[in-house]
Structure 1
């Protein structure tokens, strides 16, 4: 890549970073937040690259060309349109991946928010939660400030103390998430992020038990009982749909019985 293109690319990515919508990733604009868009470290973390490496891109001193996968990840985090994604790849002298990665659209985010009072959330292709509605936060806690690893649905089922104690049949849910992880990992075996997820759960005996069964599953439907409070259990039927582009999954947790419906309705009135 020429020195001119390096500077053009850096300027463009910086502009898009400062104009990106932080709320897509659950980042709230607090009174002490001076950056209008995303911080460099926030982009780097979500694209799974170092902050120093990303800073060099913006400063126009990249050097070696990044891989198509890294470029696609940056385009996703910066919420670039398909045309903007092609522009970035053109500057580097590469062709976009077959399915350019873009950010969560406003329409998709609105669809998720419209599921209230039902908990709903969005996951990327690697089953990492990237957005959620207030009902999800009320039941599971606000994920703002957590790393991509901590927001990964597979990592969470094995490491989140709340899920391990609140999910009635935790072992069965863990087995299902393992089967989903096998499917996702097989489609992106070179992913450093998915390998990191794997290394953090591979020694868990329940994961080992499920992994050895060689079960494979797509994210679709899951039923489970969740202890919500001392006097309230939620019987939830989670339905997961993939967007037409294949970039995201929308998961909606419907009430599986009347008491759960009443609890979720009351919860929605207080949000």
Structure 2
């Protein structure tokens, strides 16, 4: 924090550099005033004095005043053993959307932190249907595995996939237990016997890799290996469904030629 303070441009903060101003950046009192804390408290935090344990709100305010990047903010919170406050979702960037589209002919989609699909490529729409106009609840992958008739009949080992999605849901829910949306997802699936069975196992899992066989048509099955990557900010997941065997690769290639 001291380095950022001393190298800040005072003009950005509306401070005119007068002929008698000796500091090159910001004074401690100028940072403290903008973060709504006392100068003494800020000095203790900056110097890392014993007992200086700022609240997440104070730490977030200081990071905001000093215009720290997301990576720098996470680093500051890591130093004091805290987690950054949740930030509003900034929206899917053009670069991330382009990366998803570049996965063709493989089905690919983007999920937010609550496992709700927010964007998808044409191959995904061809295999699973276009989700345009559907509510966030209906686009949530956990809701879909228990309510989508296509998935329930087309996924060869539906019960195993449902157990895995439940384990993922438990992990996500544990990190955002106050989420009204996740509670809504829970209430819509809690009475499903397979969900109850999986929930009682207390298993947890990260959204990483999943293998499954999908009946695509009367004469075509897709063996898919879904790999899920999280963006550096943690706001989104990119899921890409790769071909797990040669026949699936051929089918996806043919689909891609018709998109």
Does TM-score exceed 0.5, indicating one fold? yes
Q: CA deviation at 1:223?
A: 0.2
Do the aligned residues in 2 keep the contact of 1:24 with 1:130 (CA within 8 Å)? no
Q: CA deviation at 1:193?
A: 0.2
CA gap 1:196/1:255 in 2 versus in 1, 3 angstroms:
same
Q: Distance in 2 between matches of 1:104 and 1:40?
A: 37
RMSD: 12.8
Q: Distance in 2 between matches of 1:212 and 1:116?
A: 38
Do the aligned residues in 1 keep the contact of 2:164 with 2:205 (CA within 8 Å)? yes
Deviation string 1:232-265 (CA, Å, 9 cap, x unpaired) is 0000000000000000000000000000000000
Match of 1:196 among 161, 169, 184: 184
**3-state DSSP of counterpart to 1:49:** coil
Runs of 4+ in structure 1 deviating by more than 3 angstroms, as ranges, are 13-100
Q: CA deviation at 1:100?
A: 4.7
CA gap 1:87/1:262 in 2 versus in 1, 3 angstroms:
closer
Match of 1:255 among 238, 243, 247: 243
Deviation string 1:138-197 (CA, Å, 9 cap, x unpaired) is 000000010000000000000000000000000000000000000000000000000000
CA gap 1:34/1:197 in 2 versus in 1, 3 angstroms:
farther
Q: CA deviation at 1:89?
A: 19
Q: Distance in 1 between matches of 2:126 and 2:249?
A: 15
Q: Distance in 1 between matches of 2:186 and 2:40?
A: 26
CA gap 1:58/1:144 in 2 versus in 1, 3 angstroms:
farther
Normalising by structure 1, we get a TM-score of 0.66
Q: Distance in 2 between matches of 1:168 and 1:179?
A: 19
Do the aligned residues in 2 keep the contact of 1:221 with 1:238 (CA within 8 Å)? yes
| Structure 1: unaligned runs, 5 residues or longer | 1-12
Normalising by structure 2, we get a TM-score of 0.69
CA gap 1:179/1:138 in 2 versus in 1, 3 angstroms:
same
Q: Distance in 2 between matches of 1:82 and 1:195?
A: 28
CA gap 1:49/1:186 in 2 versus in 1, 3 angstroms:
farther
Q: Name the larger-Rg structure.
A: 2
Q: CA deviation at 1:97?
A: 3.4
CA gap 1:160/1:95 in 2 versus in 1, 3 angstroms:
closer
| Structure 2: unaligned runs, 5 residues or longer | none
Q: CA deviation at 1:101?
A: 2.4
